């Protein structure tokens, strides 16, 4: 039942968007010029609008749903392209391919069924373009919504966020120095520089962390922008999730595993796409992300491990200074240590007596020496 209601809602939404696109098309200046082509478009548009409420309403619902499905197919698998220029190129290439192969057939069938006289393709091309641009806006809005959602889900304290802000600036600076020294691609270095705050930037998200960093900065700290900060918060979440599970591995692959976990995380990839959109080469962007993840693990790994160790000691109430020696603990558990001062056996007594006698002899020898000296 719920699926049917969702499907019905989707169809109605598609029909509504189609109607709005047709209205927008007939109101464009190019179709109000009074030329024969413009008049043909005006007539076709008005005829088509008259069918949105009538016996052909179901036909338009089916058509609008099919048209919207084709337009949405342009966005399938688009997230695998990280570069914004590459993504835009594939989106528009997919749209123009549909404009040549699918849309003419679809609109011709509709006009034939509704007996709409329109030989001017510019009309339906304008409608298609309007709908596609609306989908592009929706895609951008969904990104903004996801950014807000990720930020709202952050469960760190004010002090923890201050630490993350401090560390991520250090990591960016260290990676940038490394890339400049190794003469890595210019696009990677420029991407790292763009992670910092520039004059005039305004920020509302966790602004107290940036203010704290400004107060503690003595000239050597790098202050990152909010987008980069959220990116590192996502990295920190993955690190704290998986580091305890793999830090006890003795095979030496812990860091490699963690880097893979970080770089494959959906939130990390989402924000990295936004940050690195000016890097056109995919391999270059992947190498930079791996380097950032590796540096983050190096910087944060020891600190997190130390914190968790202290927390473990506190939770388990372990006090190594007062803990009995292992030998005594084993004796106690095995039952050999019955009392705090166990009775000595005969052999031990004999050894003690022999030691006492030796001690007495030594004293006598010392006394005789003193007598001789005197």
- Please indicate whether residue 73 or residue 32 has the higher confidence score (pLDDT): 73
Averaged pLDDT for residues 176-186? 91
Burial class of residue 18, CB neighbours in 10 A (0-12, 13-18, 19+): buried
How many CB atoms are located within 10 Å of the residue 168 CB? 25
For residues 234 and 291, membership in a common domain is answered with yes
For residue 224, what are the β-bridge partners? Answer: 196
For residue 274, what pLDDT is reported?
85
Final residue of a domain: which of 268, 292, 312? Answer: 312
Averaged pLDDT for residues 148-166? 73
How many domains does one find in the chain?
2
For residue 12, what pLDDT is reported?
83
Q: Report the range of poorest mean pLDDT among 22-31, 48-57, 168-177, 359-368.
A: 359-368
Residue 109 pLDDT greater than 70, yes or no? yes
Residue 271 lies in a domain: yes
Residue 335 lies in a domain: no
Residue 343 lies in a domain: no
Averaged pLDDT for residues 4-20? 76
Please state, in angstroms and rounded to a whole number, the distance separating the CA atoms of residues 74 and 69: 9
For residue 196, what are the β-bridge partners? Answer: 224
Each residue of 223-270: pLDDT tens digit? 888 889 889 998 988 888 877 776 666 566 778 888 988 998 888 888
- Please indicate whether residue 322 or residue 91 has the higher confidence score (pLDDT): 91
Residue 149 lies in a domain: no
For residues 271 and 165, membership in a common domain is answered with yes
How many CB atoms are located within 10 Å of the residue 229 CB? 25
- Please indicate whether residue 170 or residue 366 has the higher confidence score (pLDDT): 170
Residue 205 lies in a domain: yes
For residue 144, what pLDDT is reported?
66
For residues 105 and 178, membership in a common domain is answered with no
**How does the average pLDDT of the chain come out, rounded?**
76
Residue 87 pLDDT greater than 50, yes or no? yes
Domain ranges, residue 178: 154-312
Averaged pLDDT for residues 140-150? 68
For residue 350, what pLDDT is reported?
46
> For 242-250, which contacts have Cβ atoms below 8 Å and span 24 or more sequence positions?
243/297, 243/301, 243/304, 243/305, 244/308, 247/301, 247/305
Is residue 4 helix, strand or coil? helix
Burial class of residue 188, CB neighbours in 10 A (0-12, 13-18, 19+): buried
Q: What percent of the chain has pLDDT over 90?
A: 19
For residue 311, what pLDDT is reported?
64
For residue 148, what pLDDT is reported?
65
Q: How far is CA 358 from each of CA 236, 308, 354, 361, 364, rounded to the nearest angstrom? A: 68, 55, 6, 5, 10
Residue 169 lies in a domain: yes
For residue 202, what pLDDT is reported?
45
User: Are the beta carbons of 20 and 127 closer than 8 angstroms?
Assistant: no
For residues 170 and 308, membership in a common domain is answered with yes
Final residue of a domain: which of 108, 140, 172? Answer: 140
For residues 60 and 162, membership in a common domain is answered with no
For residue 292, what pLDDT is reported?
94
Is residue 172 helix, strand or coil? helix
For residue 104, what pLDDT is reported?
92
For residues 109 and 158, membership in a common domain is answered with no
User: Are the beta carbons of 36 and 52 closer than 8 angstroms?
Assistant: no
For residues 97 and 160, membership in a common domain is answered with no
Residue 293 pLDDT greater than 90, yes or no? yes
For residues 84 and 184, membership in a common domain is answered with no
Averaged pLDDT for residues 92-100? 93
- Please indicate whether residue 1 or residue 276 has the higher confidence score (pLDDT): 276
Final residue of a domain: which of 258, 285, 312? Answer: 312
CB-based burial, 252-287: b 16+ in 10 Å, e otherwise: eebbeebbebbbebebbbbbbbebbbebeeeebbeb
Burial class of residue 11, CB neighbours in 10 A (0-12, 13-18, 19+): middle
For residues 162 and 34, membership in a common domain is answered with no
Residue 300 lies in a domain: yes
C-alpha dihedral, 54 to 58 to 60 to 63, nearest 10°: -170
Give 246-283 as a DSSP string: HTT-SSS-HHHHHHHHHHT-HHHHHHHHHHTTT---HH
Residue 64 pLDDT greater than 60, yes or no? yes
Hey, what are 347's tokens?
């052999």
Each residue of 186-221: pLDDT tens digit? 999 999 999 987 544 545 545 545 555 566 655 556
Averaged pLDDT for residues 126-155? 77
For residues 125 and 184, membership in a common domain is answered with no
For residue 107, what pLDDT is reported?
93
Where residue 365 falls among pLDDT bands split at 50, 70, 90? Answer: very low
For residues 196 and 123, membership in a common domain is answered with no
Does pTM surpass 0.95? Answer: no
Residue 370 pLDDT greater than 60, yes or no? no
Is residue 153 helix, strand or coil? coil
Residue 148 lies in a domain: no
Residue 47 pLDDT greater than 60, yes or no? yes
Residue 145 pLDDT greater than 80, yes or no? no
- Please indicate whether residue 96 or residue 326 has the higher confidence score (pLDDT): 96
φ, ψ dihedrals at 322, nearest 5°:
-100, 0
For residues 115 and 59, membership in a common domain is answered with yes
């Amino acid at each position: 039942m719920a699926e049917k209601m969702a499907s019905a809602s989707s169809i109605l939404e598609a029909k509504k968007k189609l109607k709005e696109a047709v209205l927008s098309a007939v109101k464009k200046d190019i179709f109000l010029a009074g030329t024969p082509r413009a008049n043909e478009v005006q007539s076709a548009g008005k005829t088509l609008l008259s069918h949105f409420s009538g016996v052909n309403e179901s036909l338009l619902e089916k058509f609008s749903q099919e048209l919207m499905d084709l337009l949405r197919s342009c966005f399938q698998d688009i997230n695998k392209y990280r570069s914004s220029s590459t993504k835009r190129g594939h989106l528009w290439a997919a749209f123009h391919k549909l404009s040549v192969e699918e849309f003419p057939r679809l609109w011709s069938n509709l006009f034939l069924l509704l007996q709409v006289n329109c030989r001017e393709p510019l009309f339906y091309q304008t409608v298609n373009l309007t709908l596609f641009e609306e989908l592009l806006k929706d895609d951008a809005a969904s990104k903004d919504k996801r950014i807000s959602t990720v930020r709202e889900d952050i469960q760190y304290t004010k002090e923890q966020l201050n630490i993350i802000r401090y560390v991520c600036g250090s990591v960016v600076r260290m990676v940038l120095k490394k890339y400049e020294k190794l003469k890595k691609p210019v696009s990677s270095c420029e991407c790292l520089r763009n992670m910092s705050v520039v004059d005039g930037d305004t920020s509302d998200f966790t602004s107290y962390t940036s203010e704290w960093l400004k107060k503690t900065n003595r000239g050597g700290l790098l202050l990152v922008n909010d987008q980069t900060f959220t990116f590192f918060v996502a990295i920190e979440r993955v690190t704290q999730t998986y580091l305890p599970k793999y830090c006890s591995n003795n095979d030496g692959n812990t860091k490699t595993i963690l880097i893979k976990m970080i770089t494959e995380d959906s939130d990390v990839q989402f924000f990295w796409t936004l940050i690195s959109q000016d890097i056109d080469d995919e391999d270059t962007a992947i190498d930079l992300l791996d380097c950032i993840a590796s540096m983050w693990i190096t910087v944060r790994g020891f600190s997190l491990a130390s914190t968790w160790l202290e927390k473990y000691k506190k939770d388990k109430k372990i006090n190594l200074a007062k803990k009995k020696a292992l030998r005594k603990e084993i004796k106690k558990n095995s039952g050999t240590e019955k009392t705090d001062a166990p009775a000595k056996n005969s052999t031990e007594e004999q050894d003690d007596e022999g030691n006492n006698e030796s001690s007495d002899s030594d004293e006598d020898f010392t006394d005789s020496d003193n007598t001789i000296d005197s």
